[in-house]
Structure formats: structure tokens, C-alpha cells
């Protein structure tokens, strides 16, 4: 499960661990990388039969085009319906309003309307994951509405109350950027204020690089890597490293004792479309939801504390495939170095993301200030909700920040 946690959620960056004889991956922040679990246990026959050709192909410079097809067929024929998770399915979400966008996306959203004089720039909140909306009720929307902001929180494609697409081709970073631009146009706003948490911070940076004149202000809360190829999972920091032994044990037990998870994970790495057929959204999203409930407290300064199931059902395939696509994005930093949009970067004391990941936002964006939040983890709004709201509100309204911006090169938590 460790690889399932490696990606990028607020999730948090979450899961890790061994599954039977195999190793898996769960990402968070971009979370649950698609590298998959190596098949083991009852799958050893398949693993041995396919392992040598795969290893040899890698040594020679890449897999033949036919190899994933053959391996997928072998996996499916060997285990068939045994790969499917029994019983548990995702819980349908609450009714929501929807945007029908020209990108083809149908996205659920919630509006907290402004009170009093309405400001011209709406606030659009970008959740983490990818694929994990509704991480915490932080009260920020209500405070921003009192300050005159129209506040929109939406569930990104394939997550929360937004429908899961029939195919997987839309799970790309570019589609996320295009959806956000389509939302701006739908709102009729010249510019938006973006507030992105974890992966949502990475998405805000991607949008800012593509449409710098469409952003009035931006808040990066515990952001994921500015450019993912710059870091390995270990260099960026993984939620798995903060799980308690008990949390790791429970995570490892999610797949059961049979071969379902290892085999399906191997198939996911080779042929996501076939994996989607064998394990459809409602089943794997339910597993993902349980995973986040077990692991979520590791995103705070108090790992191991009890956590409730996420309010909204996360989207596993959105998480895995967008996280994988981040590895193939062009570098946005050259453009961002020329963008002078006011930016606030928030960093918690216990953030599992390594300091260099956060610092790069401040050092790359000319208009950025970094505020260090003691006593908070990756999920700043969970550990320090009052401090979080105060910092964001002060920044957006031009009031003094509740603390001096941090300008040092070293991790403030280690001073």
C-alpha cells in the first residue's frame, strides 16, 4: 500500500506498506502513484512467468508494445473475477449543483455567497489529492463570504460528487487546468482568487503558469511539488513515513489475505483501462475512502489519532492517473519566475512534505511570502483552523499577516 500513498493527497500523502508478499503504493498530494503492487502470494506463478521478460525489456531500454497487452491478458485469465473486491462500495454523495463545462466535464460545486458588497474576484478553492475533496470543514468559506467574496468549492473530475467518466483519458493535469479556466469563464470573472491545498497548490501553480493574467491572488496551503519530476517520492516526502505502526498494520490489512490487491495493482500499472473494468470506481473508491480514514491523522501533528471517514467519496482513478501524469508535465518554473501575482505560501511545522518542496514556491514566485505555522501538519486547517483562517483572510484583504513572513533558507521547524 505504500505506493498507493505516495502520490499527493490531502490526502495527504498517504499510504505505504507491504501487501502480502508485495509492495504497493498510495499517493497523496498527488497521491497513490500508479507504479502498483508487485504480485506475490498466489500470484507468484504469474509474477515469475512475466517477471523475466519485463526485467529484460527494461534492461534493453523499454517494454515492447505488445508486452503490456500479453501480461494483462495473463493476469486477467489467471485470476478473472477474483480480482474484484467483494461487497463494499462507495457511498453516494449528497445532491450538489453542477457545472456542465465545454471540456466535457460535469463538476459538482458549492457556492457560499458573498454578504454585503460583493468583490469582483471570486474565490475558487482547489482540493487536494488528486481526487480527495471535502478533506476538512475549516470555516474559511463563511469568513470569506462575510468579507464580500463569492466562494466556490468544486469536486474535481472523477471525485466527490462529480460523476466518474466512463473512460480514463480525462485524468490529466491539462484537463484539470482546462476545467479551471472553463470555470472562470462560466463565472464571468476577469480574474480569480485561488486557494489550493496540497495537490490543489500544484494545480494552482499549473494554472498560474498557463493563465497568469487570470489570477488576482493565490494561496498555496502545504503545496505539493512545484514540478514533480524534480523530486523522487522520498525527496518530496511521503505520508507513509508518519504513519504509526498500528496505522501501517491496518493499511496493510485493507487488501485482505488473498491475491486480489497485488494482482489488480500490477494490472493497474500495465493497463489502467483493464484494471478499471475489473475493479470499477464504486468498489475501489470505497477502499480508498477507508484508506484515508486510517491514514488521515498522519497529515496532522498527531498521527495515530482516530479519524472519521471522509465526508465525500474520493476518486481513486483520478488520484492515480493524474499523479502519474504529473511526472510528464513540462517545467512551469521558468514562466512562474516572471509572474508577479501576490502569493501566500503556508507551511506547517509537522508537514510530511520536505522543506525544499515548500521553499521552492517562495523562491520561484516573485510575489510570494511564506508563513510558518507552528503546531500544524500538512493539514494546517485541521491542526490550527483559527490560525489558518486568520492568515488567509489577512492576506486576501490586505491586512497585516498574523506573523512575520519566513525568509530563511533552512527549515524553520529545525531552528
Q: What is the DSSP string of 171-197?
A: -SHHHHHHHHHHHHHHHT-S-EEEEEE
342 and 214 in a common domain? yes
Length of the chain: 415
Residue 259: band (very low, low, confident or very high) from pLDDT cuts 50, 70, 90 = low
Residues 116 and 226 in one domain: yes
Q: What pLDDT is recorded for position 258?
A: 59
* Boundary residue ending a domain (326, 348, 364): 326
pLDDT of 10 over the 70 cut: no
Q: What is the mean pLDDT of residues 155-168?
A: 96
Give the β-pairing of 18-19 and 22-23: antiparallel
Question: Which CATH number does the domain housing residue 140 bear?
Answer: 3.40.50.1820
**Based on the domain organization, do 15 and 85 belong to the same domain?**
yes
Q: Tell me the mean pLDDT in the region 273-284.
A: 92
Question: Are both 202 and 318 inside the same structural domain?
Answer: no
At 203, is the secondary structure helix, strand, or coil? helix
Instruction: Please give the tally of structural domains in the chain.
Output: 2
Domain edge (last residue) among 274, 299, 326:
326
Q: pTM score, two decimals?
A: 0.83
More confident position, 253 or 83? 253
Question: How many Å apart are CA 267 and CA 273, to the nearest integer?
Answer: 9
Judge if 102 and 225 occupy the same domain. Answer: yes
CA of 350: how far to CAs of 6, 26, 132, 278, 374, in Å?
A: 17, 20, 21, 38, 8
Q: Domain span at residue 394?
A: 97-231+331-414
218 & 287 share domain: no
Q: Where are the alpha helices (DSSP H) in 117-172?
A: 140-146
pLDDT tens-digit series, residues 89-137: 554 444 479 999 999 999 999 999 999 999 999 999 999 999 999 865 6
Would you state the pLDDT for residue 2? 56
* Same domain (yes/no): 206, 145: yes
Whether 101 and 217 map to the same domain: the answer is yes
- The per-residue pLDDT for 151 is 97
One domain for residues 10 and 55: yes
C-alpha distance across the termini of the chain, in Å: 34
Is residue 148 domain-shared with residue 295, that is, in the same domain? Answer: no
Which of 278, 301, 326 terminates a domain? The answer is 326
Helix, strand and coil content of the chain, in percent to the nearest 5, comes to: 45, 15, 45
**Nearest by Cα to 207 from 231, 183, 178:** 178
**Whole-number Å distance between alpha carbons of 265 and 160:** 22
Same domain for 136 and 196?
yes
Say how far apart CA 204 and CA 236 lie, in whole Å.
18
* Statement to judge: residues 247 and 314 lie in one domain: yes
Does the structure show a pLDDT above 50 at 76?
no
Amino acid at each position: 500500500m505504500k505506493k498507493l500513498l505516495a502520490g499527493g493527497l490531502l490526502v495527504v500523502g498517504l499510504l505505504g506498506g507491504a501487501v502480502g508478499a508485495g509492495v504497493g503504493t498510495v499517493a497523496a498530494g498527488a497521491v497513490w502513484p500508479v507504479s502498483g503492487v508487485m504480485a506475490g502470494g498466489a500470484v507468484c506463478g504469474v509474477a515469475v512467468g512475466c517477471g523475466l521478460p519485463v526485467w529484460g525489456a527494461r534492461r534493453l531500454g523499454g517494454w515492447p508494445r505488445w508486452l503490456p497487452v500479453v501480461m494483462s491478458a495473463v493476469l486477467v485469465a489467471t485470476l478473472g473475477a477474483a480480482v474484484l473486491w467483494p461487497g463494499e462500495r462507495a457511498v453516494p454523495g449528497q445532491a450538489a449543483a453542477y457545472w456542465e463545462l465545454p471540456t466535457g466535464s460535469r463538476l459538482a460545486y458549492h457556492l457560499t455567497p458573498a454578504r454585503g458588497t460583493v468583490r469582483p474576484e471570486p474565490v475558487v478553492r482547489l482540493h487536494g489529492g488528486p481526487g480527495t475533496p471535502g478533506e476538512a470543514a475549516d470555516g474559511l468559506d463563511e469568513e470569506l463570504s462575510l468579507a464580500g467574496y463569492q466562494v466556490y468549492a468544486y469536486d474535481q473530475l472523477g471525485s466527490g460528487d462529480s460523476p466518474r467518466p466512463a473512460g480514463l483519458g480525462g485524468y490529466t493535469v491539462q484537463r484539470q487546468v482546462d476545467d479551471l479556466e472553463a470555470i472562470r469563464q462560466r463565472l464571468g470573472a476577469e480574474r480569480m482568487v485561488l486557494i489550493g491545498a496540497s495537490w490543489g497548490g500544484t494545480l494552482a501553480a499549473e494554472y498560474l503558469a498557463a493563465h497568469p493574467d487570470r489570477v488576482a491572488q493565490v494561496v498555496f496551503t502545504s503545496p505539493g511539488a512545484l514540478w514533480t519530476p524534480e523530486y523522487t517520492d522520498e525527496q518530496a516526502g511521503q505520508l507513509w513515513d508518519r504513519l504509526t505502526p498500528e496505522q501501517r498494520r491496518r493499511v496493510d490489512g485493507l487488501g485482505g489475505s488473498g491475491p486480489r490487491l497485488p494482482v489488480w495493482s500490477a494490472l493497474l500499472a500495465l493497463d489502467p483501462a483493464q484494471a478499471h473494468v475489473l475493479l470499477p470506481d464504486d468498489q475501489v473508491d470505497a477502499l480508498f475512502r477507508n484508506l484515508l480514514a486510517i491514514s488521515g491523522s498522519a497529515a496532522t501533528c498527531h498521527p495515530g489519532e482516530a479519524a472519521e471517514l471522509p465526508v465525500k467519496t474520493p476518486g481513486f482513478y483520478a488520484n492515480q492517473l493524474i499523479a502519474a501524469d504529473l511526472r510528464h508535465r513540462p517545467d512551469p518554473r521558468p514562466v512562474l519566475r516572471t509572474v508577479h501575482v501576490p502569493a501566500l505560501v503556508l507551511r506547517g511545522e509537522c508537514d510530511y512534505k520536505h522543506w525544499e518542496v515548500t521553499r521552492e514556491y517562495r523562491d520561484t514566485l516573485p510575489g510570494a511570502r511564506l508563513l510558518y505555522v507552528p503546531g500544524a501538519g500538512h493539514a494546517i486547517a485541521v491542526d490550527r483552523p483559527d490560525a489558518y483562517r486568520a492568515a488567509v483572510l489577512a492576506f486576501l484583504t490586505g491586512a497585516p499577516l498574523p506573523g512575520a513572513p519566513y525568509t530563511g533558507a533552512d527549515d524553520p521547524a529545525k531552528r
